[in-house]
Amino acid sequence: MNNLENKKILLIISGGIAAYKSLELIRLIKKKGATVKSILTKNSYKFVTPLSVASLSQEKVYSDLFDHENEAEMDHISLSRWADLILIAPATANIISKLSLGLADDLASTVCLASNKKILIVPSMNVRMWEHQKNKENINKLKSFDYSIIGPEIGDMACGEYGEGKMTEPKDILNYLSEYFKNINNNKKYKALVTAGPTYEFIDPVRFISNKSSGKQGYEIANSLKKNGFETTLISGPTNLKDIEGVKMVKVNSAKDMYEATLENLPTDIAIFSAAVSDWKMENFNNKKIKKKGDLSLNLKQNIDILSNISKHNSLRPKLVIGFSAETDNLSENSIRKLEEKNCDWIIANDVSDNSIGFDSDYNEVTIFYKKKESEKISKMKKSLIADKIVERVISDLN
């Protein structure tokens, strides 16, 4: 199967000696039936010409952010939206540094900053530049922004030195692109459901029982599933987060609402229950605001267990059911017990007693407990990267 057929690749060529390899890369991508539009940085003109790039791609070449012809035909926003994927090859230390800082002083950096598409970077530089601590920091920052890095390779360099920093060969980049689109195409056959955020259990018309969940981890998981080709539904309790483009959004308040919305969106192949559902609700809801008259006692009863009900459902149970476990102590013991009692396939546990991770933080650290294999820990990183790690394992499990 040709995974690149009819795909649209936006290639950014920066000013490194390896820029000549991008000409071969264009030829290989075109041969696979994809369309390639190119952006040349100012320094790349010293190594390749717009004419050679245009001749191979058979498309107009873009370079100047303030070119009235380019902006009239396709501005930096629509150029980003046109592409299925943005590829920077070669990516010099300079453009890597600019992107890590969020600079937008030319067309290439502006397109990347304005992009809502996957960005792949193919580094190419001297071994000492690659190994420099600042460059490593820049690479790690780009990874946290959801950029993917291809290479570099180890070998002889144009400067005469030997080491890591060589641009990955065009045929290997092509294989990476093919595998990337293959995974997305394969995943389109799967439906995924994610729950996120807290639930509100109302005491009276103005007061409710809830928790500190921000919904960030669940939203990141839904976004990662969408990026990887899954048809994704996100059922969200009350949060301050923006809707995710391309994801079916269902907004709810209470656990009862969330459970009913979950049933309405089944069957599905994968269900990831990351929502922090309130464990208790009022025995009797007060239709009028309770007036302040000294101490107040509340009669609470156990709330519906969404994870357990879906995981034990005879006909609607998804192929893969994943629950979350927010713990303050005995993380392993409590999570393993939850895995068994609720009949789910995985439990993803985190220690919410650490305020630097978990609730309302942009970072998390989790341990995944599997029903059929040993647990594994994913060390502290941004929730977006945690989500990508989880989705990688979901894809591996399904395939």
| Rounded Cα–Cα distance for residues 219 and 247 (Å) | 10
Structural contact between residues 358 and 349, judged by C-beta atoms closer than 8 angstroms = no
Residue keyed to tokens 């190419």: 124
3-state secondary structure of 349: strand
Which pair of structure tokens corresponds to residue 381?
Answer: 């990183």
Number of other CB atoms surrounding residue 172 within 10 Å? 14
Catalytic option among 77, 154, 158, 159: 159
Q: Residue 82's closest CA among 47, 111, 46?
A: 111
DSSP letter, residue 145:
T
| Rounded Cα–Cα distance for residues 227 and 180 (Å) | 11
| Rounded Cα–Cα distance for residues 222 and 265 (Å) | 15
| Rounded Cα–Cα distance for residues 387 and 243 (Å) | 17
Structural contact between residues 97 and 136, judged by C-beta atoms closer than 8 angstroms = no
Query: Is 112 tagged catalytic?
Result: no
Phi and psi, residue 363, nearest 5°: -120, 155
3-state secondary structure of 351: strand
Structural contact between residues 363 and 357, judged by C-beta atoms closer than 8 angstroms = yes
CA of 195: how far to CAs of 78, 122, 217, 251, in Å? 32, 35, 10, 10
Q: Residue 307's closest CA among 281, 267, 339?
A: 339
Residues acting as catalytic residues: 159
